[in-house]
A and B are shown apart, each in its own frame.
Chain A
Amino acid sequence: MTEALAYPFMQRALAAGLLVGLAAGLLGVLVILRRAAFFGDAVAHASLAGIALGVVAGLPPLLLAAAVAVGIGLSLHRFERMTRLSLDTILGFVLPFFMAVGVLVLSLTPGFQPELLSYLFGSILTVSWQGLAVIAAVSALVAVVLARRGPALVFAAFDPEGAHAAGLRVAALLTLQHVLLALVVIASISVVGIVLVNALLVIPAATAKLLARSLAQMFVLAPLFGIGSVLAGLAVSAWVDVPSGPAIVVMAGLVFLAAWAGSVRRGRRPPPRGDRTGGAR
């Protein structure tokens, strides 16, 4: 691993992975609070429409994918309010619809598109300096927004009605959260690909949820698990010569399973829903 770090491509991969692990880990906590674990999957798969348009039109595919993802992020909460459908139902529409559009557009292009595989499964080792700069900018944006509006975003994600009653502009906050998530999803595509991108959002935050004793701890642990998974996955990838994206996700999954086993052993798992006692004490 240390020898591999001598190569600029490996340095870029490491930096990109760490930044994405940090940003996705932080936003993953909001995803868990909002109970929208499906969000990353839906936006990533829907962005295939943008990638396909880019491939067909000869434009930067990730730029068009970002346009589709941000468009979805901007309109999701408005659509939720207009249709009165739940977020997961709307995401259940967004994913297949836009992905189908992408597949149809690609079917119009003759011949095999080899670069599509890198979008589907990620190719962190081929991240360019330009790509790294975009990932750094997205991560910085996430950090700045969370530093300034984090508590309001948490309140709106956890209890939208309570936040509205407390005077917050919940629609704007949820839209901001969706746009940030969309940007992080697009930034993460180069690391783990469309198929696995949601893992970086959900698994580190879910692992943190198993171990944390407070929400504040969850915000510390989730990015640490995200970064740790990327480091471990890259190391495994370099050592065994396997694709880095799936290696990162498998490492994140193993950490989750270990955390779950640890929390069960220490009896820190909450009781099942039906076991909750009622009555005032």
Chain B
Amino acid sequence: MYALEVKDVTVWFPGQERPAVEEVSFALPEGQIAILIGPNGCGKSTVLRAILGLVPFTGDVRVFGMPAADARRQIGYVPQRLALDMSLPLTVREAIRMPLLGARGTETDTSVGHFAHALGIADLLDRRLGVLSGGQLKRALIARAMVTSPRLLLLDEPEAGIDVGGEHTLYEILARLVSHHGLTALVCSHELDLVFRYAHQVLCLNRRLQCTGSPAEVLTADALKQLYGPVTALYHHRPGGGT
């Protein structure tokens, strides 16, 4: 059984001349990190939003064999950004435990503490969410998505607004979460270096799915030129320097 099956998904926003994404189909085996790549406006976030039922779509989405609408508690979602009121006195602890909907007890606190520790933000739990840096906020959002123990994690450009070192740290943490918790992750990203390093499967999207495969299969000069245009080049860093 696949963790996620997307079949012929088309999203057409009202008033648009063409669909935002058209007849997109792919399947993710359990325990993998799949990364959706493509130029701005290609529909990456729209695919995630369709899986979550945040936009109307035609086609079929199944999560662990169930219709996605019935499996939302199996899904954790990390948005690209949170429209956060900086002055709100919401603590990191309160934000992370929000999906637990007020559940109290040792188990809840352990769960919040466990994921805060795994994400490296255990010492920030009593800080206000609004004072966190971009990287800390992303980690808090991942902890919030993980706290209900989902089996499928959807992340919309988790590296957005984070410096280069922070990007790698975040993906290292993601890879660790996937291997330790048997998760499957579908990530939207623009960072081809990260894609090459961390993805098990790459999905190239430009309204339609252009190609899928392992990073070595997909991240070729020709495929990227077709997807992004002629200015794209991928530099594979070799140990000891040089490209």
Binding site for B on A (CB under 8 A): 32-33, 35, 84, 150-152, 154-155, 158-159, 161-162, 164-168, 209, 212-218, 269-271, 273, 276-281
Contact = CB atoms under 8 A, between A and B. Distances in A.
B236 interface: no
A162 B76 CA distance: 9
Contact of A164 (B53, B85, B90, B101): B53
10 contacts: A35-B85, A164-B72, A214-B89, A214-B90, A270-B87, A270-B128, A280-B133, A280-B134, A280-B135, A280-B170
Contacts of A213: 89, 91, 128
A164 B72 CA distance: 8
Given A150-B102, A164-B53, A167-B73, A158 B90 contact: yes
Contacts of A279: 133-135, 162-163, 166
A270 B130 CA distance: 8
A158 B91 contact: no
Contacts of A269: 87
Contacts of A271: 86, 131
Most buried by A among B77, B90, B131, B154: B90
Interface in B80-107: 82, 85-91, 94, 98-102
Nearest to B98: A155
A214 B88 CA distance: 8
Nearest to B69: A167
B177 to A, nearest CB: 16
A155 B133 contact: no
B79 A162 contact: yes
Interface residues of B, number: 44
Contacts of A161: 52, 54, 77, 79
Interface in B58-86: 72-73, 75-77, 79, 82, 85-86
A227 to B, nearest CB: 20
B169 A151 contact: no
A167 B72 contact: yes
Most buried by A among B75, B91, B161, B170: B91
Contact of A215 (B75, B91, B162): B91
B52 A164 contact: yes
Nearest to A148: B102
Given A279-B133, A279-B135, A166 B89 contact: no
Contacts of B128: 213, 270
Contact of B89 (A35, A84, A158, A209): A209
A8 to B, nearest CB: 40
B136 interface: yes
